[in-house]
Amino acid sequence: MTTLRKFVEWMSFHPAMEDIPRALATDYLTEFGVQGIRFGLLNSDDSILLLGQYGYPDAMAWRNRTIPSAEWHAIEAPDVQLIVAASGQKWSEDSKFFISTLRDHGVVQGYLTVEFLAPLSQAAKQRAGELIDELCMAIALYLSFQIRRSPNQTITVNSLQDSKNSEEARLSARQMSILRGMVEGKTNHDLATELGVSVSTVRHETMRIYQALSVSDRKEAAKKAIALGLV
């Protein structure tokens, strides 16, 4: 299975927005050594709704935050400066940042930026850039179905389907799949094979499930999932 096909299949589980950059970094771009990823939507007033980021210590604090135009334009970061320059250049001069556009009907609806641990070689840059652009096409399509807006509408967190206030909504599609697997008695290895991710990713998601359900082990998680009617 190609990386793109695998990613599209994963997206069909309707992941939460904050899970997308994490999955890209830990499952789909691992060969390139990713430091961090962030992505957001561009509003008609040039503000940006930051949907999610991974690899940065303040990731959750910035999730679903709308950043006014003047504020994000003033950020002194290589990826932001690439966007502000609007030159069409995708790579920063130090070859550590790449920017890809998210488009809807050919119109830019947002950006996804990737920071690498070390500068990439020319050959690696070409492979990484092509792959990220392909993955972004799938993300953009997903967003176009998730979000409905008129040209002048400003997107807020309430526009997104994954903002419901319930136990089920607080769990991503992948976490729900893992939770169902727990109830069925599947091992981490079974789940990793079934979902096409690493065992460490399953462990990471399991801990997030425990936190969301306020439980401490698989048995408690399975019992609570059944009691709440989540599975």
Domain CATH code at residue 13: 3.30.450.40
Looking at the fold, whether 32 and 129 belong to one and the same domain comes out as yes
Of the three residues 140, 163, 186, the one that is the final residue of a domain is 163
Q: What is the pLDDT of residue 31?
A: 94
Contact residues for 182 (Cβ-Cβ < 8 A; gap 6+): 206, 209, 218, 221, 222, 225
Among the residue ranges 122-126, 194-198, 221-225, the one predicted with the least confidence is 221-225
Looking at the fold, whether 179 and 210 belong to one and the same domain comes out as yes
Task: Inform me whether the pLDDT recorded for 90 exceeds 60.
Answer: yes
Domain count, the chain: 2
Nearest one of 193, 134, 93 to 3, comparing CA atoms:
134
The Cα–Cα gap between 66 and 112 comes to 15
Which CATH number does the domain housing residue 198 bear?
1.10.10.10
Looking at the fold, whether 210 and 133 belong to one and the same domain comes out as no
Task: Inform me whether the pLDDT recorded for 170 exceeds 70.
Answer: no
| Tens-place pLDDT, residues 58-89 | 777 777 788 898 998 888 888 888 888 877 78
Task: Inform me whether the pLDDT recorded for 11 exceeds 80.
Answer: yes
Domain that holds residue 90: 3-163
Task: Inform me whether the pLDDT recorded for 153 exceeds 70.
Answer: no
Q: What is the pLDDT of residue 159?
A: 43
Asked whether the whole model's pTM tops 0.85, one would answer no
Looking at the fold, whether 139 and 173 belong to one and the same domain comes out as no
Looking at the fold, whether 82 and 54 belong to one and the same domain comes out as yes
Looking at the fold, whether 193 and 142 belong to one and the same domain comes out as no
Q: What is the pLDDT of residue 147?
A: 65
SS3 203: helix
Average pLDDT over residues 75-104: 87
Average pLDDT over residues 142-154: 61
Task: Inform me whether the pLDDT recorded for 169 exceeds 70.
Answer: no
Looking at the fold, whether 177 and 159 belong to one and the same domain comes out as no
